[in-house]
Structure 1
Amino acid sequence: MDWLKRMNGAIKYIEQNLTNEIDYNNISKVACCSNYHFQRMFSFITDVPLAEYIRRRRLTLAALELQNSSIKVIDLALKYGYESPEAFTRAFNKMHGVSPTIAREMGTLLKAYPPLSFHISIKGGAEMNYRIVEKGSFKFFGVEEIIDLTNGNNLIRIPKFWEECYEAGILDKLSEVQQKVETESEFKLCDANGIMGYRDTGKDTMPYMIGVVDFEDELKVPDEYTSVSVDPFTWVVFRTEEHYESEVTEKIQELWRRIFQEWFPSSGYEHAEGPEMELYYTADDDRFFSEVWIPIIKK
């Protein structure tokens, strides 16, 4: 499959450049997606951030060289991209639990992380609820933070950002400008939702905004908020099972993992170059469900 070929091609590129400076843009070109989307996809599929995977592979090869050659630590540090022997020693010790000098000794216990290889696997068969919709242009406005993607920090920082906005009264202010939409469903769209990846903020980061989605593009944006115009897209919309408010983070993060691990590899669609959204719905009895919106194109 094309998806497998591209992902394994990206791993091959990484392996061929472990002793060189690795350009994340080149990795994403091999995978035929943006730097931002590749890092997000890689992390969700493998449960390891891209930077951490590269670090583990480099330190695995460095340990093998220490045990099978007389190379100096300073030369090994430079070979694998560390600015100093001290920085290399700290990283080596963190992964292997011993210093590079001790690693040379016969019988020393070391760790090895082999290169990844992507395959289609059959999993538990749990259903995924999704729909594909066409949506014209709309806007989203609210408060923004630039999120660090390294080492899974986004999975920690985004829930914390929501907590901070709640404590600061920002969510209450957003509810004052949210257009109230009457629906026949017992569930209503929450006043504050999330959008991410709507502009390039540089390597290892993404923009994340908590705010109001204005599908009709009719609301006046208050001066204190950042506004994003979203282009027309075809979207795939995934829905979590119903849950309580305390489970929101757990349920939506698990949904993200399943989307990239299970749906995209065999769907016939690719992630289009556009933002992603998280929309939240609640009923009067404190039940919730969440939606993940991803722009797509056919392969």
Structure 2
Amino acid sequence: MKALSERHQQSILRVCEYIQQHLDDALDAEQLSDVAACSRFHFHRVFMAFMGLSTTRYIQLAKLRRASFRLAFEQHKIIDIALEAGFSSSEAFTRAFKNCFVQTPSQFRNQPNWQHWHSVLQLPSIPREEIILNVKIVDFPTKQIAYVQHCGAPQQVLDSAAKFIAWRKQTGLSPIESSETFGIPYSDPDTVAPEAFRLDICGTISQTAIPSNPFGVIAGTIPGGRCAVARHYGSHDNIRDTVYQLYREWLPNSGEELRDYPCFFHWINFIHDVDERELLTDVYLPIK
């Protein structure tokens, strides 16, 4: 029974990832059951059993999730976002968005309630089959950075990210087009209380001082040194899989020792620029 359950889990995971990769396509039951390698007579019940919602609702949530990022981090017209999400009018989009996230698209754009957003989109986590990481040892150069410190629930990180993006746009001191963007988690969100979680959101700068600002952005450095680095592909929601695999699989067999600095992420692209499946993140593990 366990083997059967694992096979079904991986089938449903394939379907979820396929949906994420084809949000702009017409998706029907026969197509999705083929992806799952499951009889179409049983597919919907298997999906519902594992995910707790129908494929139709999952597709709608995936489209609204993408639309919410467009609203929060881009300046597209709401009607254009609505059409991309598959709605025939901004009115229909507004009704669906408000029913899902409590706020209208305009309200969400002005002041997103990320905590409620996370609660709506908190779906069951399906275990993934581990992939073989391609780990490289690099000499990471010291980076001068500007950063905003997020302290509190991981579900509110996007509020801090929005502040940092606004600072970047207003000052031009760490332009997103020509600067690197890093995240430094000082604790594990899976093992600490929400109020104890800390993540620094950083961008490289060419100067060592940052003028006082209302966003709470200050200057700092990421120290240079040897690092093991592995690339994570896809959603940031699954980045813990790559992190844990580095610690669990690579580190014990590497003969390397950890340096006294947290692991950190280099976000190569962003959810408001590319589809989620195209996200690229390098995970760095500082070593001696």
> Could you tell me the TM-score, scaled by structure 1's length?
0.37
Q: Decide which structure has greater strand share.
A: 1
Structure in which a larger fraction of residues adopt helix: 2
Q: TM (normalized to structure 2)? A: 0.38
Which of the pair has the greater relative contact order for Cα pairs under 8 Å at 6+ separation? 1
Q: State which structure, 1 or 2, has the greater radius of gyration over its C-alpha atoms.
A: 1
